[in-house]
Amino acid sequence: MIFLSLYLCSSSIGGEYLQFDPNANLPDLINIATEKAKSERVPVLLFVGDDGCIGCKRLNLILDHHPAINDIITNDLILVKAFRGGASETVLYLSKLPKLPAVPHFYVLDPNGKLILSQGTEEFEFGMGYDEIKLLAFFKN
């Protein structure tokens, strides 16, 4: 089940929208993601949100449908989606990271699971959506 959840999370960028699973065990997903990240020598992108968050849905659509962003995420990152509340294991894991001020939010982890970056998405906002050029620049770095 854990492998399936990670597989769905990492493949959701290919066009099928995956909901943020409130029952997922985030530490287990991160362990699987970091093992894959080590073998592929890429970082892990932890995308924290929830399905009631309009910004999360809008951001997810960009990640799914912007070809250049989709290509970077598919080839250069391991994506894990995390529900901001949910399972106690998830809440405990997120409490060890820098404070989550709002969702959506990105955490970038190295292949060993060490935090590289905590990135709010408000600087990418534009009108009622997100600035795809700013997002692309973020993902290229």
Give the residue ranges of DSSP H helices in 26-131: 26-40, 54-65, 67-76, 88-95
Range of the domain at 60: 2-140
Domain CATH for 84: 3.40.30.10
CA dihedral 8, 33, 141, 131 (to 10 degrees): 30
Question: What pLDDT, in 10s, does the model give residues 82-107?
Answer: 999 888 999 999 999 999 999 999 99
User: What pLDDT is stored for residue 12 in this prediction?
Assistant: 37
What's the total number of domains in the chain? 1
Percent of residues, the chain, with pLDDT higher than 90: 74
